[in-house]
Amino acid sequence: MPKKSRSNAIRLTRRSFAAGAAAFVAGVASFNIVRAQGGPLKVGVLLPRSGLQAGIGQSCQLGVDIAPAILKSLGLPDLAIMNADTESNVDTARARAEKAIGDGAQLLIGAFDSGQTTAIAQVAEQKGVPLVINIAAAPAITEQGYKFVFRNFPTAPMILGDAFAAQKEIFAITGAAPKTVVFMHVNDTYGTAMAKGIGAIMPKFDLPYTIAEEIAYDPAARDLSVEVAKAKATNADALLVVSRLNDAMLLTRELVKQRWTPQGVFSMGPGWYEDQYIKTLGKLSDGPISLSPWYDPHKKLTPVVEAVLAKAAPDVNLNTNHIFTFEALLVAADAYKRAGSTEPTALANAIRSTNITDNVSIGPGIQFDAKGQNDKVKGGAFQNRGGKLVTLAPTEAANGKPEWPMPSYQGRG
């Protein structure tokens, strides 16, 4: 067999193979970039969709569900949502954040709980992927000097300051106020941060009451009878609570069973205004006043959001979870439009220069300070009344008057 000359054979040297491979990779990569710029922004939405906080996580999900229609009406680009479940667990939240980024998420949103959000923020910063926090109040999250973490939600001290200011407005309107309160709080990251904040902030407000007793309880508690018995024994006029959804329902059940209706229940956290709370407890859900980040019923975008929510989930009241999860997506879409790129630094810079005035939450709008915190967002006060939520304070956002003292649990049929 004649030997084929080397010069006539297809000459595939190592060098030409490497050059060809490099050209192929470069071609594919540039194609990907072009596709990413033209396509929707991939947003990993991390929420506690199961576990202890499942109810609230699913409520936050409604904020995601209503977003596409509203963003479209505002002329903002589409977002490709990648849902992930933190299972109400800090370690799972961290793992899901890593997985979401590994799966191509170009921006993260989440995660309702301060502990879980802290873990996600560490991952986002490490990987250089922007995180827009929907709900989480622990101040430390935006005190770490992170460059990729942004929060459109007040910190615990901000919530407390607004809560005390709103209480004073309510007392001024009703002409009545409690002399003592018992403070019950869940013993998790958020509850502890709020408890510490009360010690630091409350003295700055000339409030008419003192705290008769502070009662901390386990977030996984399945029976709060002892806690409520202890609270009742203080003979306090009102109840001040920082809770979640499950414990808010447990506390209400125990208040009914132990036949104690305080003059009022002030909640400085989630739980008492949630749709599941209202549906599960029916008439027994009426009365509590929540002091929490809230929406301004008079803002232009509010009726739009309410209309889309009514279509997506009839009989569900617009609440904090929907508003701030939607607004996190609003920030993401707005930044993507201005950045014109999915490149993380460009996106982060665009988020940092956000200036949205056409929003839903109380306050002048959405802007971030050097730490990535929206320091303009404000809290409000609202009361459960007949299955609806009536905004009481601040005055500029109010659409009803407070009912004080709250009606007795015993006479509700």
Q: For another protein, which residue of 36, 215, 313, 356 counts as binding (CB under 8 A)?
A: 215
Q: Which of 148, 217, 294, 368 binds another protein (CB under 8 A)?
A: 217
258 binds another protein (CB under 8 A): yes
Residues in contact with another protein, counted by CB under 8 A, come to a total of: 48
Six-digit token string for 363: 């306050």
Q: What does the DSSP assignment read for 160-216?
A: HHHHHHHHHHHHHHHT---SEEEEEEESSHHHHHHHHHHHHHGGGS--S-EEEEEEE
**φ and ψ at residue 57, rounded to 5 degrees:** -60, -40
**Which of 74, 165, 221, 316 touches another protein by CB under 8 A?**
221
| Contact status: 259 vs another protein (CB under 8 A) | yes
Nearer to another protein, 41 or 184 (CB): 184
- List the structure tokens of 318: 């617009």
Structure tokens at 298: 């008079």
Name residues contacting another protein, limited to 21-40 (CB under 8 A): none
Q: Radius of gyration of the chain from Cα atoms? A: 25
Considering only residues 211, 304, 313, 356, which one is a binding residue for another protein as defined by CB under 8 A?
211
Q: Select from 99, 127, 230, 352 the one that contacts another protein (CB under 8 A).
A: 230
* Burial environment of residue 40 by CB neighbours within 10 A (0 to 12, 13 to 18, 19 or more): middle
Nearer to another protein, 79 or 184 (CB): 184
> Cα separation of 21 and 342, whole Å?
26
Identity of residue 55: G
Contact call for residue 222 and another protein (CB under 8 A): yes
Tell me if 311 contacts another protein by CB under 8 A: no
Identify the residue among 30, 32, 73, 210 touching another protein (CB under 8 A): 210
Residue from 40, 50, 65, 99 touching another protein (CB under 8 A): that is 50
Among 214, 358, 369, 396, binds another protein (CB under 8 A): 214
Phi, psi dihedrals of residue 279, rounded to the nearest 5°? -70, -40
Q: Which residue of 253, 337, 338, 352 would you call a contact of another protein, by CB under 8 A?
A: 253
The region of 64-72, 123-131, 253-261, 353-361 touching another protein under the rule CB under 8 A is 253-261
Q: How many CA atoms lie within 13 A of 353 on its CB side?
A: 10
Which H or E element spans position 277? helix 275-281
- Is-contact 109 102, C-beta < 8 A? no
Q: Give dist(CA 184, CA 215) in Å, integer.
A: 5
For residues 188 and 296, which CB has a smaller minimum distance to another protein in the complex? Answer: 188
Report the residue number, 202 or 329, with the smaller CB distance to another protein: 202
Among 202, 136, 178, CA closest to 266: 178
Comparing CB distances to another protein, the nearer of 2 and 203 is 203
Q: Which residue has the tokens 């622990």?
A: 138
Choose one: 94-102, 221-229, 267-275, 289-297; the region binding another protein (CB under 8 A).
221-229
Q: State the nearest-atom distance from the C-beta of 212 to another protein, in Å.
A: 4
Tell me how far apart the alpha carbons of residues 363 and 397 are, in angstroms, rounded to a whole number. Answer: 9
Q: Which of residues 148-207 bind another protein (CB under 8 A)?
A: 179-180, 183, 187, 198-199, 202-203, 205-207
DSSP code string of 6-25: TTTS----HHHHHHHHHHHH
208 counts as binding another protein under rule CB under 8 A: yes
Indicate the residue among 92 and 142 with the shorter CB distance to another protein. 92
Task: Decide whether 148 or 164 has the Cβ nearer to another protein.
Answer: 164
Tell how strand 379-385 and strand 264-267 pair up: unpaired
C-alpha span between 117 and 123 (Å, rounded): 10
Write the DSSP symbol of residue 130: -
CA neighbor of 113 nearest in space, from 191, 185, 165, 36: 191
**Would you give the binding string for another protein spanning residues 278-297, x where CB under 8 A is met?**
------x-------------
Quick one: which of 21, 26, 140, 226 contacts another protein (CB under 8 A)? 226
By CB under 8 A, name the binding residues for another protein. 50-52, 54-55, 87, 179-180, 183, 187, 198-199, 202-203, 205-218, 221-227, 229-230, 232-235, 246, 253, 256-259, 284
